[in-house]
């Protein structure tokens, strides 16, 4: 049996080695390492895949979020609503731009941002909602877009964990994660469902004006070389990473299906155990399982992790400390106990190995080890 890993990037590479190697070699032969044709080709192919009118490739997912907010004409003190149970980057870029992060609680089942909590958090200073499509499924975008319309707010989707997820609105219309709000952001970190072999990210939008502005911001704030219209940054996807991503993109739906198959195996194995709650699903969104995250009930999580480690099975806690309890983001507006669902999740979640190369022998070994440890 193969060695257990949270993400098996090496086996994935071996399965498409010729395509990856050829793409990298073409970049080296061309020596167009920055803004080469491979970047343009990948952009066009990703636009076709997602249905987004415009895609701007950038250096990483955090840059994507920052550039998105920079494009909206916000002022210091403007408020940005985001969930407290997520990776730090979502609040980080808000703080870096002198904006005010307003964190809210999440839903127990889906672990995504709570719509009721969004409504309660809106003030006259609120300008943006940043829903995070956590672990691979979309937040309640039907309700979020309606709230945004009612209050004249921007929506910037953090789809860094959910590329390829499909959201079906109540009217039957379907869109991909990241293409629903005014702007969407994704990451190509190596462990993502569509990951490169370094850093990378992308911004999605269907708005022509926002697209042009974000392209300029990512290029030092200039539309024309050496003519800088506003303060920008330097953020771009290099040609080698674009070639790798372009080789992987045709396989993304297969990767998603493999993850969904593994998740179904886990679901069935844990269905009747009173100490395990499997990931809740939003019926309007498909789930692409960037992570497969259990909620443990009356279980010593550290002890379970240790017992799994004894059997060479890795596991991870995403995320052990909510944003409002992080030292860097302490705020007199918030205290421990204010966001009970997020705090409970932080104390009880555990993610199991989830990747495209998991086979039935491995899945059976993992599930039996979890059940035996409990």
Contact 67/58 with Cβ under 8 angstroms? yes
At 78-92, the pLDDT tens digits run 999 999 999 999 999
List the structure tokens of 10. Answer: 């090496």
Grade residue 1 by pLDDT with cuts at 50, 70 and 90.
Answer: confident
At 185-210, the pLDDT tens digits run 999 999 999 999 999 999 999 999 99
What's the mean pLDDT when you consider all of the chain?
97
Task: Give me the sign of the Cα torsion angle 342, 288, 283, 268.
Answer: negative
- State the pLDDT at residue 370: 98
* Among 42, 25, 24, 17, CA closest to 249: 42
- CB within 8 Å of 186: residues ≥ 6 apart: 61, 64, 159, 160, 162, 163, 178, 192, 194, 201, 202, 204
- State the pLDDT at residue 373: 95
Q: State the average pLDDT over residues 140-163.
A: 98
54: pLDDT strictly greater than 90: yes
At 242-283, the pLDDT tens digits run 999 999 999 999 999 999 999 999 999 999 999 999 999 999
- State the pLDDT at residue 202: 98
- State the pLDDT at residue 47: 98
- State the pLDDT at residue 223: 87
- State the pLDDT at residue 53: 98
3: pLDDT strictly greater than 90: no
Q: State the average pLDDT over residues 311-334.
A: 95
Give the burial string for 88-126 (b: 16+ CB within 10 Å, else e).
ebbbbbbeebebbbbbbbbbeebbbbbbebbeebbeeeb
Out of 5-14, 33-42, 64-73, 330-339, least confident range: 330-339
């Amino acid at each position: 049996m193969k060695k257990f890993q949270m993400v098996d990037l090496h086996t994935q590479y071996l399965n498409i080695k010729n395509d990856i190697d050829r793409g990298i070699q073409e970049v080296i032969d061309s020596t167009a390492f920055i803004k080469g044709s491979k970047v343009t080709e990948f952009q066009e192919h990703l636009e076709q895949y997602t249905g987004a009118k415009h895609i701007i490739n950038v250096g990483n997912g955090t840059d994507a979020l920052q550039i998105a907010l920079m494009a909206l004409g916000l002022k210091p003190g403007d408020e940005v609503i985001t969930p407290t149970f997520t990776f730090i980057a979502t609040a980080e870029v808000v703080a870096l731009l002198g904006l005010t992060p307003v964190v809210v609680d999440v839903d127990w089942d889906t672990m995504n941002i709570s719509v009721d909590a969004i409504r309660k958090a809106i003030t006259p200073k609120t300008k943006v909602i940043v829903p995070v499509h956590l672990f691979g499924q979309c937040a309640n975008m039907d309700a979020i877009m309606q709230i945004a319309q009612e209050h004249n707010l921007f929506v910037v989707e953090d789809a860094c964990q959910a590329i390829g997820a499909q959201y079906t609105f109540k009217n039957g219309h379907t869109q991909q994660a990241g293409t629903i709000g005014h702007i969407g952001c994704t990451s190509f970190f190596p462990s993502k469902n569509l990951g490169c072999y370094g850093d990378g990210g992308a911004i999605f939008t269907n708005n022509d004006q926002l697209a042009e502005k974000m392209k300029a911001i990512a290029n030092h704030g200039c539309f024309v070389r050496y003519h800088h219209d506003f303060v920008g940054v330097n953020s771009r996807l290099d040609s080698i990473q674009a070639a790798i991503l372009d080789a992987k993109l045709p396989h993304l739906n297969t990767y998603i299906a493999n993850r969904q198959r593994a998740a179904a195996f886990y679901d069935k194995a844990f269905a009747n155990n009173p100490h395990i709650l499997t990931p809740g699903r939003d019926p309007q969104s498909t789930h692409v399982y960037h992570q497969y995250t259990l909620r443990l009930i009356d279980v010593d999580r550290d002890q379970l992790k240790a017992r799994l480690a004894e059997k060479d099975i890795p596991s991870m806690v995403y995320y052990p400390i909510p944003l409002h309890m992080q030292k860097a983001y302490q705020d007199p507006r918030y205290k421990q106990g204010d966001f009970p669902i997020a705090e409970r999740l932080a104390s009880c979640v555990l993610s199991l190995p989830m990747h495209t190369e998991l086979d039935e022998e491995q899945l059976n070994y993992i599930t039996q080890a979890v059940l035996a440890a409990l």
